[in-house]
Structure 1
Amino acid sequence: MGRRVPAVSRALDILELFLDGDGTLSAPEITRRLQLPRTTVHELVTTLAARSYLVPVPEQPGRYRLGVRTYQLGSRYAEQLDLAAEGQQVARAVAETCGETVHVAVLEEADVIYIAKVDSTHAVRMVSAAGRRLPAHCTAVGKMLLASLPPRELAERLPAGGELPGMTPNSITSPEALRAALDEIRERGFASEQRESNPDVSCVAGPVRNRTGRVVAALSISVPMIRWSADRQEELAALAVRGAAQLSERLGHHAG
């Protein structure tokens, strides 16, 4: 383990004080309860307030309460918990329908992280695990998620020049080719990849939306090439999109 940073620990100690009582505190109260120097508390509170982790209480000068950033972090944590649990249930139902391996994944920087997985019932199947991390542009789930990003955010996650890392000879390594592929994904509403992350496996994926309509995950179906065909891709793509829509409904999304 790395060394703990005292200033960060003290800032977190301050935030955790607000879990008790009526949820409001003054700097002198924080100083007394944590036995910290007054100047240190003043600097930490000022910094937390500047970042919206704390906000002044209206009509109570000198007192603070938790700010909107703590709510946003808590909401994201709860969303991820719900997504993993609900995703596992939907993935199981989809896997029972098609007999293939089903994943649910989220985007983290330029990678995807698998948060739910149900194995194929076939003897020949994809070997993977929840928690695995892969380059987004090499996977169907990742391309689905990248295609759902606003242009500016997509540009921030992809290199301006040079090649993208590949996992197989079929991986897309050109940023221009990837952008063209993402345009196609937006038009047809699902993503696919053929032996781009695994030389023996192809996948299709659909978008998972939260209650606000934002794409927060993707659901994919992975198939060994011995069971892959154009007709099978079309059939499984429709199933992946339906499964993703079912998961979206569980997260509170209602299609218009």
Structure 2
Amino acid sequence: MLQTVQRAAQVLRLFTPEQAEWGVTEVAAALGLPKSGAHSLLSTLASEGLLQRIPGGRYRLGWSLFEHSQTLLETTDFLLIARRVMEQLVAGWGETTHLAVLIDGQVLYVEKLQGDRALEIVLSRVGKRLPAHCSGVGKVLLAHRPWEEVLAIVKRQGLPSLTPNTITSIDRLRIELEEVRLQGFAYDQEEVMVDLCCAAAPIRDETGEVIAALSLSVPAYRFYPYRQRLTTAVIEAAQHVSMQLGYYVETPEWTRPKRSGSRSAAWATRA
């Protein structure tokens, strides 16, 4: 039974935006299964609505998965809370904000809101996965995992270079993750996309475990002059989410009285 469930999960993971359709022979080859076993798995998943059979004997993801994904989105506390904070960040800064989690050693973007002066970032659409070592959110998430787990991820996935600035050395990655863990935030300095930078910070649950990462992505020419303000905004926004999840943050900056008397949070103020 356990092996069958694992095989079913492996089949579902084959379907990506790059290859949204699969045939029996292709699935059998990809997973090292006999064609009869692959056919049985695909047929069963289709009968349960997790896949749909299309002309030519091929398969696509089924609409039942969409239904389940909506349930997940509507019942995940940190996502609901974070979305409200992200809306304030976007309204105040006009940039793009991301929310991400770590899945199978990769960054999975679960929410993205784009501001009125933001760059178009195709690589980080909702549901997209990226290597974790090159993004701000990915560094935050990796920094709070055991180093042995990070090594296993790197051994499995490598350190692919997306730009000339991407970290490709395991020693450099170790040093940077140690800094991220100590300082409480991470930067992506044109490591995923040239001319794009971001600051990211961790979101913690009531036990203090890092369950997600929040970021602001900014064109490089706007990022460097306002890096400190952007960093502070992201850290305090992430703390705001964490506190609503039950995590105790001692005297966070955003709760302190503001000299201007403005009602808006400091982290939601445009530079």
The TM-score bracket by the shorter chain reads: 0.5 to 0.7
Which amino acid in 2 is paired with 1:129?
A: R
Which amino acid in 2 is paired with 1:135?
A: P
Q: Secondary structure at the match of 1:143?
A: helix
Q: Secondary structure at the match of 1:228?
A: helix
Q: Is the 8 A contact 2:96 2:217 kept in 1?
A: yes
Q: Is the 8 A contact 2:184 2:201 kept in 1?
A: yes
- In the alignment, which residue of structure 1 is the partner of 2:262? none
- In the alignment, which residue of structure 2 is the partner of 1:173? 168
Q: Is the 8 A contact 1:138 1:197 kept in 2?
A: yes
Q: Secondary structure at the match of 1:193?
A: strand
Rg (Cα) greater in structure: 1
For residues 94-243 of structure 1, the aligned pairs below 5 Å read 94-122=89-117, 124-127=119-122, 128-159=124-155, 164-229=159-224, 231-243=225-237
Indicate the RMSD between aligned Cα atoms, in angstroms.
2.8
Hey, what's the Cα distance between the residues in 2 that align with 1:187 and 1:108? 23
Hey, what's the Cα distance between the residues in 2 that align with 1:196 and 1:89? 28
Hey, what's the Cα distance between the residues in 2 that align with 1:254 and 1:208? 12
Hey, what's the Cα distance between the residues in 1 that align with 2:155 and 2:242? 30
Q: Secondary structure at the match of 2:188?
A: strand
Hey, what's the Cα distance between the residues in 1 that align with 2:182 and 2:206? 22
Q: Is the 8 A contact 1:126 1:223 kept in 2?
A: no
Which amino acid in 1 is paired with 2:183?
A: R
Q: Is the 8 A contact 2:133 2:139 kept in 1?
A: yes
> TM-score when scaled to structure 2?
0.61
Q: Is the 8 A contact 1:125 1:223 kept in 2?
A: no
Q: Secondary structure at the match of 2:163?
A: coil
Which amino acid in 2 is paired with 1:235?
A: R
Q: Is the 8 A contact 1:126 1:222 kept in 2?
A: no
CA gap of 1:254–1:233, structure 2 versus 1, over 3 A, is: same
Shift of 1:146: 0.6
CA gap of 1:168–1:252, structure 2 versus 1, over 3 A, is: same
- In the alignment, which residue of structure 2 is the partner of 1:244? 238
Which amino acid in 2 is paired with 1:171?
A: T
Q: Secondary structure at the match of 1:252?
A: coil
Which amino acid in 1 is paired with 2:223?
A: W
Hey, what's the Cα distance between the residues in 1 that align with 2:228 and 2:151? 30
Shift of 1:6: 10
> TM-score when scaled to structure 1?
0.65
CA gap of 1:88–1:175, structure 2 versus 1, over 3 A, is: same
Q: Is the 8 A contact 2:118 2:218 kept in 1?
A: no
Which amino acid in 2 is paired with 1:216?
A: I
Which amino acid in 2 is paired with 1:100?
A: E
Shift of 1:83: 2.2
Hey, what's the Cα distance between the residues in 1 that align with 2:107 and 2:237? 19
Aligned length: 184
Hey, what's the Cα distance between the residues in 1 that align with 2:116 and 2:236? 20
Hey, what's the Cα distance between the residues in 2 that align with 1:223 and 1:78? 26
Which amino acid in 2 is paired with 1:173?
A: T
CA gap of 1:221–1:137, structure 2 versus 1, over 3 A, is: same
